[in-house]
Amino acid sequence: MTVVTRFAPSPTGRLHVGNIRTALHNFLFAAKHGGRFLLRIDDTDRERSTAEAEAAIHADLAWLGLAPDAVFRQSDRFDLYEREFERLRAAGRIYACYETPEELDLRRKVLLGRGLPPVYERPAQENAPVEGRSPHWRFRLDHDSPIGWDDLIRGEQKFDPRLISDPVIRRADGSWLYLLPSVIDDIDLGVTHVVRGEDHVSNSAVQLQMFAALGADPPQFAHEALLVAAEGKLSKRLGAVGVGEMQEEGLEPMALLSLLARLGTSQPVEPIGHLPELAATFDFDHFGRAPAHFDMEQVGQLNARLLHQHDYAGVATRLPDWVDADRWLALRSALTRLSDIDQWHEVVAGDIPVPSLSEEDRTFVAAAAGAANSTDWTADPWHALTNALKAETGRKGRALFHPLRKAITGQDSGPEMGPLVRLLGKERVVRRLEVAAQST
């Protein structure tokens, strides 16, 4: 069996982290098993669907690196839905209903008032047409066939169809609701695994009977615990956090994907630089049932760690011209966003402002200038210099390292000094130490 998964967004806006997590898990599961990852654009709601939103979905997936193997659009498949609809109707599995929303709401309230479940009361025989009203259509559940499946995340699931309302599958204006077209598509496209949020569990129960009514074997289901905002993070709804914001903040796609791949699982969250590495360890057995807490700060932390381990080839096309391989290796440990590298241009390629040091530190860096001038620069000049100064002055820790960093870079913090000092070279380091020793 070739594994086939699908991601099925509605083109009504840009992807947010919940959508992205669903897309990622479908992508990773298919990739791990050498299968196919499909993109299905669920654009049956013609009023809310837009070409701009669909284009944004494609752009977002491209930025994330989640390239589908094929793309389908539900609006291109209405003839197929119509044929299957008529087949089910002829078999007595679809019937017309004429109640208004107000009538249905009143009936639900009556049932609740009697202490009964608000399940739609199926008519004993086919509803008679009501003059002036177009029917909506319901799928007739088989009350004699208990519903159950072994969910890849939630385990054994059981539903009593008598406690579920026959679902509306088509509106009075002829437009489709989600349930039946999705089943028809999954059958036609050979989808083997449906991976989605646990808010779809009851939908899956209904859809299992639709698969059976259409004479098809159902896919396997994996219903994930939902993504929620991290505790205390109330300033932004998760629905507003998406690719656009990630791009504006200069975040790497793999920082987000590294988090979303492992969030809510027993596996450690760690920076992983490539999707095949994430796919190799992806397994629904690691997923828990508790809600997964998403925190943008964690994305930022992973972003910094990813940049610190990126080789030059992986970022070369996105770096300014003045950054070559040596400068990248020297500067990457100081970055939290790739754009941060711009602030280091003058440090490695120009002149820095004269730092302000205490009299005691000026004396110390004067000694450092002399020591740097006599240090062997062919091996590891930074450690040779600091070891010599430690022996000569007795300084250690911050008292030793901070004045040197300040004098050489003009900054209080920054990249590892060993690679940076080698990059700057003896002449520039000695000159900066000498200038800093004369500062006031």
Annotated binding site for ATP: 236
The values of phi and psi at residue 283, to 5°, are: -155, 125
The identity of residue 310, as a single letter, is: H
**Concatenated DSSP letters of 179-190:** HHHHHHHHHHTT
Q: How far is CA 359 from CA 167, 179, 353, 356, 433, in A?
A: 81, 76, 18, 10, 14
Task: Say how far residue 156 (Cα) sits from the centre of its chain.
Answer: 28
What are the residues facing 343 on neighbouring strands?
none
Question: What b/e sequence results for 106-137 when a residue is b if at least 16 CB atoms lie within 10 Å of its CB, and e otherwise?
Answer: eebeeeeeeeeeeebeeeeeeeeeeeeeebbb
Token pair listed for 370: 């002399």
Instruction: Calculate Rg over the CA atoms of the chain.
Output: 31
The identity of residue 157, as a single letter, is: Q
- Residues annotated as binding site? 236
What are the residues facing 136 on neighbouring strands?
97
Strands (E), 133-236: 136-139, 147-151, 155-159, 168-170, 193-197, 220-224, 227-229
Task: Say how far residue 351 (Cα) sits from the centre of its chain.
Answer: 41
Region of residue 343 (phi > 0: left; psi between -120 and 50: alpha; otherwise: beta): alpha
Among 336, 344, 157, 369, smallest CA distance to 252 is for 336
